[in-house]
Copies of this chain bind each other. A is one copy, B any other.
Amino acid sequence: MQARAGINRKMRIFISHLHGDHVFGLPGLLHSLSFMGRTRELEIIGPKGIADFILSVNRLVKLYSQFAIQIAEVTSAGRVVNEPEYEVRAATAKHGIPCFAYAFQEKPKPGRFDPDKARKLGIPEGPLWKKLQATSSVKVGKRRIASKLVVGPPRPGVKITYAVDTRPCASVVQLASGSDLLIHDSCFDASALEKAANYGHSTAVEAAKVAKRSRARRLVLFHISAMYEDATPLLRHAKKIFSHSILCGDMDSIKVDPEVG
């Protein structure tokens, strides 16, 4: 509600793993969505056990949801969602219990249409303009005009990767490849590396190395331990390795534009 994500929009919820801080908010969220008037089906995607969790809770405390809940358990890495405009892929994270990182990838969008050029070429405004964007050429009278004369190259889609909780690992580097935004576990600072290793988390420096290796464009240091009242030292250390590192707070909003970076 605070993020104005919309109560009744098309919506999927991705659960990384079954630790309390990543799943205990779910029943309350479903309950609240129903109370606020959601009627549209909602899909929950998560590791094995997520269905049992939701069904067990519902057995004892009725969710009374006014909408259908689809639950899809991810059993292996790969594509978990495929829509006309985007897909979502899962990769195995490294966290002691089964845990997945997810990447949202928009499919390439048609190039930009240049109305001035089209007019100069004598193509009348109307259905032909749309056709030029969708196909490689159109016929105008007796001339065949190539789309590339008025339509720019296909534009890359946005790619956002979410990898929490996890140690740095090759599967996440691969998943995050070329992300516009990588949100990565940065639980500890470099001095607490042993702690990070023991608890299946990463240091901010390790997150920066993952961002660098995956050629991401920006890195959000995320899931920073509450023991750091001031997280700016973690940011400073990360920036030495990957300069486009940032910190985020709840409800912060980040504009992601793959054409600008």
Contact = CB atoms under 8 A, between A and B. Distances in A.
Interface of A: 18-21, 23-25, 27-28, 31, 35, 49, 52-53, 56-57, 59-64, 226
A223 to B, nearest CB: 13
This chain's copy number in the assembly = 2
Nearest to A64: B20
Given A20-B61, A35-B226, 8 more contacts: A18-B60, A18-B61, A20-B27, A21-B31, A25-B28, A53-B60, A56-B56, A56-B57
Given A56-B56, A57-B56, A63 B18 contact: no
Contact of A61 (B19, B31, B60): B19
Given A20-B28, A31-B24, A60 B52 contact: yes
10 contacts: A19-B62, A20-B31, A21-B31, A21-B35, A23-B61, A24-B61, A53-B57, A53-B60, A53-B61, A56-B60
A21 B20 CA distance: 18
A44 to B, nearest CB: 14
Nearest to A63: B20
A96 B21 CA distance: 32
A52 B18 CA distance: 19
Majority SS at the chain A contact face? helix
Give me the 9 closest cross-chain CB pairs, A-B, nearest first. A20-B31, A24-B28, A56-B56, A53-B60, A24-B27, A18-B61, A20-B61, A23-B61, A49-B60
A99 B226 CA distance: 37
Contacts of A23: 61
Contacts of A63: 20
Contacts of A35: 21, 226
A52 to B, nearest CB: 6
A217 B23 CA distance: 42
Contacts of A62: 19-20
Contacts of A25: 28
A24 B226 CA distance: 23
A35 B225 CA distance: 11
Contacts of A56: 56-57, 59-60
